[in-house]
């Protein structure tokens, strides 16, 4: 009889232990659930190696192994130790990388004009702040007593006044622990109206525009990333998280804050979160916006978060800058960010609440948005309408 009771107790203990293991396993599985197709999820940094590293030779991490490559980017990356610095065209200056590209790529003259212009100055990454004539308002740094938990860094273009104002009035409106900044190039664009006076007024009015003196075109979005990272290092080094998004995104800011605050510390320290593409390949059809000639790049893209909107840990800013100095320039900002994370030995985490190809015909109301963190693109009118729905008395969904 006593033996039977012992067996029953042992069986109960084993059952409870098995239940505990199952609960922990399913909880972990929910956090790292993968979706089918190219928008998958990779495991995050393991508990044994949660920290970024930057080895002396990046070839293996960036897939540059095997026979000598023919494409220019791959050849450059295999031999690259650091990108040239400075702003001059002298030997070793930042324009030397682009001059070599023009000289060594056999069909360079057949590349689209925007791609040729990008490559000629791609290694030039030091630009002064743009200020209107007569001076203007500087964007304040983060004071020791007011460091944001989440910085909303929104990529915009000088003429997109309506999009910026919609962000200010909706998901980027003032909230505890949250700060909003817009990233722009020069408002004096080539062949376009000079918007300097209007942008200067907006800057003085809102004090949330980080402006640099470079041509604001899509292929220069990587500059906004790199200059933001440098600004963070000097003016806001202790920010916990940075959301980098386009100005036509809509973010459910309270839900995003809740998700970030619930992350395990080991995940939070090396976070790279968004809608993840794990099997993307270069598009070889000339004439498209994402065309990449085979003579420039060969191979597949790294896993990367869509540039429509993703979150990184603030502490990674200096690490990403170091990686960018050793990763050959690439024309697409989100792919380049993925390359830099791969160089650091870190991988992205997917979240099903990020949607960066939201169909224009698909309705979006407060009920549909309950499980979402970010959608893109939305027009300013749709963003304002969705914001009003989210703040109206909640219907039963």
Beta strand spans in 51-177 (E): 150-155
List, as one string, the DSSP characters of 212-254. EEEE--GGGHHHHHHHHHHHHHHH-TT-SEEEEEETT-EE-HH
Q: How many residues does the chain have?
A: 397
Vertex 94 angle, CA 132 and 293, to 5°: 105
Lowest mean pLDDT among 46-60, 145-159, 325-339: 46-60
Tell me the C-alpha to C-alpha distance, in Å, between residue 82 and each of 56, 229, 240.
10, 18, 28
Lowest mean pLDDT among 38-42, 243-247, 288-292, 307-311: 38-42
Q: Does residue 11 sit within a domain?
A: no
* Position 363 pLDDT exceeds 80: no
Q: How far apart are CA 62 and CA 341, in angstroms?
A: 10
Q: What is the pLDDT of residue 27?
A: 33
Q: Is 99 in the same domain as 156?
A: no
Give the confidence band of 96 by pLDDT, cuts at 50, 70, 90: confident
Lowest mean pLDDT among 30-34, 37-41, 379-383: 30-34
CB atoms within 10 A of CB 85: 14
Tell me the whole-structure pTM to 2 decimals. Answer: 0.86
377 prior amide bond cis, ω within 30: yes
Q: What is the pLDDT of residue 88?
A: 44
Q: Does residue 169 sit within a domain?
A: yes
Q: Is 112 in the same domain as 235?
A: no
Q: Does residue 218 sit within a domain?
A: yes
Q: Does residue 394 sit within a domain?
A: no
Q: What is the pLDDT of residues 65-77, one digit of tens each?
A: 888 899 999 999 9
* Position 320 pLDDT exceeds 80: yes
Give the confidence band of 134 by pLDDT, cuts at 50, 70, 90: low
Q: What is the pLDDT of residues 234-282, one digit of tens each?
A: 999 999 999 999 999 999 999 999 999 999 999 999 999 999 999 999 9
Q: Does residue 67 sit within a domain?
A: no
Q: Is 112 in the same domain as 223?
A: no
Closest by Cα among 331, 269, 330, 342 to 305 = 342
* Position 62 pLDDT exceeds 60: yes
Closest by Cα among 349, 267, 342, 266 to 54 = 342
Cβ–Cβ < 8 Å for 248, 356: no
User: Which of residues 87 and 101 earns the better pLDDT score?
Assistant: 101
Beta strand spans in the chain (E): 150-155, 178-186, 209-215, 241-246, 250-251, 272-277, 304-313, 349-350, 354-355, 374-375
Q: What is the pLDDT of residue 93?
A: 77
Give the confidence band of 342 by pLDDT, cuts at 50, 70, 90: very high
DSSP 134: T
Q: Is 194 in the same domain as 327?
A: yes
Q: Does residue 229 sit within a domain?
A: yes
Number of domains in the chain: 2
Q: Does residue 333 sit within a domain?
A: yes
Q: Is 226 in the same domain as 343?
A: yes
CB neighbour list of residue 131: distance below 8 Å, 6 or more residues apart: 211
Q: Is 114 in the same domain as 227?
A: no
Q: Is 342 in the same domain as 256?
A: yes
Q: What is the pLDDT of residue 92?
A: 57
Give the confidence band of 32 by pLDDT, cuts at 50, 70, 90: very low
Q: Is 99 in the same domain as 169?
A: no
Q: What is the pLDDT of residue 211?
A: 95
Q: What is the pLDDT of residue 9?
A: 45
* Position 34 pLDDT exceeds 70: no
Q: Is 203 in the same domain as 342?
A: yes
Give the confidence band of 395 by pLDDT, cuts at 50, 70, 90: low
Q: Is 185 in the same domain as 96?
A: no
Q: Does residue 157 sit within a domain?
A: yes
As a whole number, the mean pLDDT across the chain is: 85
CB atoms within 10 A of CB 151: 22
Give the confidence band of 48 by pLDDT, cuts at 50, 70, 90: very low
Q: Is 197 in the same domain as 268?
A: yes
In DSSP terms, 309 is beta-bridged to: 245
- For the chain, the C-alpha Rg in angstroms (whole number) is 24
Lowest mean pLDDT among 126-135, 353-362, 381-390: 126-135
Range of the domain at 294: 150-352
Q: What is the pLDDT of residue 153?
A: 98
87-112 average pLDDT score? 82
Q: Is 112 in the same domain as 234?
A: no
User: Which of residues 248 and 17 earns the better pLDDT score?
Assistant: 248
121-134 average pLDDT score? 87
Q: Which of 74, 102, 121 is the last residue of a domain?
A: 121
Q: Residue 278 is part of a domain; what is its CATH number?
A: 3.90.550.50
């Amino acid at each position: 009889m006593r033996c039977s009771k012992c067996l029953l107790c042992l069986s109960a203990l084993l059952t409870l232990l098995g239940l505990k293991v199952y609960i922990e396993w399913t909880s972990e599985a929910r956090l790292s659930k993968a979706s089918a197709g190219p928008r998958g999820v990779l495991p995050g940094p393991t508990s044994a190696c949660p920290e970024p590293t930057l080895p002396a030779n990046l070839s293996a991490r960036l897939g540059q192994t095997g026979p000598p490559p023919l494409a220019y980017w791959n050849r450059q990356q295999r031999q690259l130790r650091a990108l040239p610095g400075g702003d001059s065209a002298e030997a070793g200056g930042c324009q030397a990388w682009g001059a070599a590209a023009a000289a060594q790529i056999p069909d360079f003259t057949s590349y689209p004009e925007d791609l040729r212009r990008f490559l000629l100055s791609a290694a030039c990454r030091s630009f002064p702040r743009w200020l209107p004539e007569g001076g203007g308002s500087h964007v304040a740094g983060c004071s020791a007593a007011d460091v944001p938990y989440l910085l909303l860094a929104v990529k915009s273009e000088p003429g997109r006044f309506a999009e910026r104002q919609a962000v200010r009035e909706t998901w980027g409106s003032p909230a505890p622990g949250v700060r909003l900044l817009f990233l722009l190039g020069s408002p004096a664009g080539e062949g376009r109206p000079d918007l300097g006076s209007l942008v200067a007024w907006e800057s003085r009015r809102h004090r949330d525009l980080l402006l640099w003196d470079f041509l604001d075109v899509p292929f220069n979005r990587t500059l906004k990333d790199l200059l933001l990272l440098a600004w963070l290092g000097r003016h806001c080094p202790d920010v916990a998280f940075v959301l980098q998004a386009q100005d036509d995104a809509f973010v459910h800011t309270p839900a995003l804050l809740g998700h970030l605050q619930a992350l395990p510390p080991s995940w939070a320290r090396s976070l790279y979160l968004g809608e993840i593409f794990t099997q993307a390949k270069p598009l070889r059809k000339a004439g498209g916006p994402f065309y990449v000639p085979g003579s420039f790049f060969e191979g597949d893209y790294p896993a990367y978060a869509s540039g429509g909107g993703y979150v990184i840990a603030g502490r990674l800013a200096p690490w990403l800058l170091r990686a960018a100095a050793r990763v050959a320039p690439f024309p697409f900002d989100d792919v380049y960010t993925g390359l830099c994370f791969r160089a650091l030995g870190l991988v992205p985490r997917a979240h099903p609440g990020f949607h960066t190809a939201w169909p224009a015909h698909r309705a979006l109301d407060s009920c549909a948005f309950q499980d979402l963190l970010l959608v893109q693109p939305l027009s300013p009118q749709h963003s304002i309408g969705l914001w009003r729905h989210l703040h109206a008395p909640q219907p039963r969904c």
